[in-house]
Amino acid sequence: MELDFIPSWYHENRRRRNWYLRRYLAIAVLTGLWIVGNLLSGSMVSKAYADLEGLRSTYEKGLRTILQTRRLQEEISVLNRQSRLVSRLQPRTLPSPILAELSRCIGERAVLKELTIVQVPLESLSLSAVKPGTAVRIRAGTGGRNDGAPASETVTQIRLVGLACDGAEVAALISRLEESKYFEQVTPVYSKNERLFGNKVTGFEIQCVVADYTVRERN
């Protein structure tokens, strides 16, 4: 039989200290785990925020690219429309041969005060040469372009306003314009007597179109 001479209160205090020690140790372990968990969670949250920021940056960059692509497509569409419009308005026959032929037809007994060369829609002309059952076909211009541009749907209309020595010279001018292969639909608008520096002259206005289209029968 073993005798224990240590007082019971000592054993009780020792058990209490051990109990407190275990509790403190458990609290310390739990606190450490909590701190480590918070650190890991903070790192994961920071990484998630960084990934989210990267995704947002990528999204914004992609959105800017899409918007820029749409803007470029709209600009290309506008430029295509403008190009088609320019092609339609660009004359098939260059101005230089037209002016040279006009100079030849006018001669020395008449002088121009106004010369207007404009492009007008083909449909707006009163094509006297076009009869029922016929159609207008655009062809390459006389002495014109070789740039491969598509034939436009316009016609070059010319307006001549000037003075001639007399009415016979106006009639001769009209005849020369009609005989030229460059012009057709020569129309005298008016011819009237005027005085210039005390001399009697004849004022005139003539309109015609450049003959860079032909008429064919409809199929």
Tens of pLDDT, residues 99-117:
899 999 998 889 999 999 8
For residue 198, what is the DSSP state?
T
Q: Rounded to an integer, what distance in angstroms lies between the CA atom of residue 103 and that of residue 111?
A: 10
What's the predicted TM-score (pTM) here? 0.52
Number of H helices, E strands in the chain: 3, 6
| Residue 37 token pair | 């968990």
Tens of pLDDT, residues 23-78:
888 888 888 888 888 778 777 877 887 888 888 888 888 888 888 888 988 988 88
pLDDT higher than threshold 60 for residue 216: no
Q: Rounded to an integer, what distance in angstroms lies between the CA atom of residue 66 and that of residue 198?
A: 74
